[in-house]
Amino acid sequence: MKHIFITGGVVSSLGKGLTSAAIGMIFERMGRKVSMQKLDPYINVDPGTMSPYQHGEVYVTDDGSETDLDLGHYERFTHCRITKHSNYTTGKIYHEVISKERRGDYLGRTVQVIPHITDAIKEAIRRGADDGTDIAITEIGGTVGDIESLPFLEAIRQFSLDIGRKNCLFIHLTLLPFLRASGEIKTKPSQQSVGKLREIGITPDVLICRTERPMTPEMRDKLSLFCNVEKKAVIEERDVDFSIYEVPVNLVREGLHDILVEFAGLPAGTRPDFSGWNEMLESARNPEHEVEIAICGKYLQLDDAYKSHYEALAHAGFHARTRVRIRKVQAESLGQLEPGRAFSGVDGVLVPGGFGERGFEGKVQAAAWARETGTPFLGICYGMQAAVVEFARNAAGLDGATTTEFRPDAEHPVISLMEEQKQIRNLGGTMRLGAFACRLATDTRIAECYGRTEIEERHRHRYEFNNAYRDRLRSAGLILSGVNPELDLVETIEVRDHPFFIGVQYHPEFRSRPDAAHPLFREFIRAALLRRFPEEVPDAASAAGGGIAG
């Protein structure tokens, strides 16, 4: 097994996660098995308790860990298995070491950053790679030069000695800023950032340069000379024109694969096979239709907060050769703003997940508007809970129906905690997390979307559909279309006589891929297309296929 370590320099938000995912994909498409992992230097044990404004979306894995959103990129670009070992934070590493110290495992020794913390990091790197992996890719979060990433850098330096330097490839992603005043791209910050790495004892083998303008041959020479990196290993990564999914193809155009081929010991001249992917890009580049989807949530200022939702909508659009325009509707604005005005002209309404009281009533109004006007609706997690509350109040006549999340004394607690959850006090890691089975009833819209009745999807929530209300809601016309067979919990709902009104307690967005849109998003966009073009159903929209949720 060989290891690749990806570090970042100069600034954060360089797209290190995307670049790492793209590298993983290039290897996969040259027939190698990859594993992917991210090490994050912050002290939270996981991002589960962090605000979306701090951290963006929390990405949930099949085995129920709450991780960094970069792992979403890994899954969208590659087929590697993402687990709880795929994301370690400083907090998680220290937590392990301190627990061992409390147990007395260190037998009276002084516990120190080197070697105990660095050993724990190296152990985490080993756990991150599955058996049979050819190439294990580890992305180091943060920016080189920060105090907090030092133990990680020290650990990967040691790791490269442990397994042999030739079995490691250090890739440094850096920024070449463009100075408008002088009309120049500058290399100095990159030189200094590589200098910082070399102080620690790491000499990068590859320099990937993020830039808005093309790099000149002189710049490449200069970077090679001052950073001590071979010329052919100075790779330009220019800003993409239209889609992040171009990144792997662009990196190959710049010759990155040649270096990866050499490192992995593949036959010279091996090239990645982008079939399928190129067709997806082609369809993404040339949409034939357009629909507008309203997202009614509360973290709309920050694109990262609903990252996987936006991606999944885009994937469904690629599938149907449709550009999906997004209208962001602040849930709490629906107090003052008429839903009819806020949603006027949209072809579908998506209510994403969320927590807490703020904005909840707006989500309920969004569901009501979509149900009454026959507009395609997809409610995810809190979005489904809002749809159940709406239905209970307006169709089943249960005034005062709500969730006990913020109304513990609700008159009709249609969404509530299961008995066994009521004792839980800690907030971190105590939700229903990870993949759970769900059985769909035949003859439902949702079973038609998936094309089967046994599915498995990822969850991240505390509250549930309250089974005490099953009969009352069902007799008012709510279809309880999917149930967890073991826990007997309602996982999906839909309403009758509506072109598309589906709520799911789970998060389908985590399992959508650009070249295999998730069936629910695919059918949601198809329903939106049908609403916009009722006369002529576009061909692409009716094409079957896609979908990986399994």
- Among residues 496, 444, 441, 488, which one has the least CA distance to residue 468? 488
> Minimum distance between the CB of residue 424 and ligand GLN, rounded to whole angstroms?
12
Q: Which of 381, 438, 457, 464 is catalytic?
A: 381
3-state SS assignment for residue 234: strand
Between 138 and 466, name the residue whose CB sits nearer to ligand GLN.
466
> Minimum distance between the CB of residue 382 and ligand GLN, rounded to whole angstroms?
3
Specify whether 507 is catalytic: yes
The CA distance from 320 to 524, in Å, is: 11
Residue from 327, 462, 472, 474 touching ligand GLN (CB under 6 A): that is 462
When asked if residue 463 is in the footprint of ligand GLN (CB under 6 A), the reply is: yes
Helices (H), 39-115: 52-55, 70-77, 90-103
Which residue has 């629909």 as its token pair? 291
Residue type at position 383? G
When asked if residue 547 is in the footprint of ligand GLN (CB under 6 A), the reply is: no
* Stretch 69-108 residues interacting with ligand GLN (CB under 6 A): none
DSSP 241: S
Neighbours of 325 (CB within 10 A): 14
When asked if residue 460 is in the footprint of ligand GLN (CB under 6 A), the reply is: yes
When asked if residue 436 is in the footprint of ligand GLN (CB under 6 A), the reply is: no
Closest CB to ligand GLN: residue number: 353
Between 29 and 298, name the residue whose CB sits nearer to ligand GLN.
298
When asked if residue 325 is in the footprint of ligand GLN (CB under 6 A), the reply is: no
Q: Which of 96, 507, 518, 523 is catalytic?
A: 507
Residue from 310, 382, 450, 469 touching ligand GLN (CB under 6 A): that is 382
Which region, judged by CB under 6 A, interacts with ligand GLN, from 89-97, 189-197, 455-463, 490-498? Answer: 455-463
φ, ψ of residue 122 to 5 degrees: the values are -65, -40
Between 75 and 405, name the residue whose CB sits nearer to ligand GLN.
405
Q: Where are the beta strands (DSSP E) in 115-253?
A: 135-140, 168-175, 178-179, 184-185, 206-211, 234-238
Binding marks (x or -) toward ligand GLN, 390..429, rule CB under 6 A? ---------------x------------------------
Neighbours of 358 (CB within 10 A): 12
3-state SS assignment for residue 247: helix
When asked if residue 519 is in the footprint of ligand GLN (CB under 6 A), the reply is: no
* Stretch 331-360 residues interacting with ligand GLN (CB under 6 A): 353-355
Between 439 and 462, name the residue whose CB sits nearer to ligand GLN.
462
When asked if residue 381 is in the footprint of ligand GLN (CB under 6 A), the reply is: yes
> Minimum distance between the CB of residue 491 and ligand GLN, rounded to whole angstroms?
12
Cα distances from 22 to residues 10, 246, 378, in angstroms, run: 21, 9, 30
Specify whether 509 is catalytic: yes
Q: Which residues contact 511 (CB under 8 A, 6 or more apart)?
A: 75, 457, 458, 518, 548, 549
Q: Which of 139, 509, 518, 523 is catalytic?
A: 509
The CA distance from 44 to 47, in Å, is: 6
Q: Which residues contact 96 (CB under 8 A, 6 or more apart)?
A: 120
Q: Is the Cβ–Cβ distance between 195 and 29 less than 8 Å?
A: no
Residues in contact with ligand GLN by the rule CB under 6 A: 353-355, 381-382, 405, 460-463
Active site members: 381, 507, 509
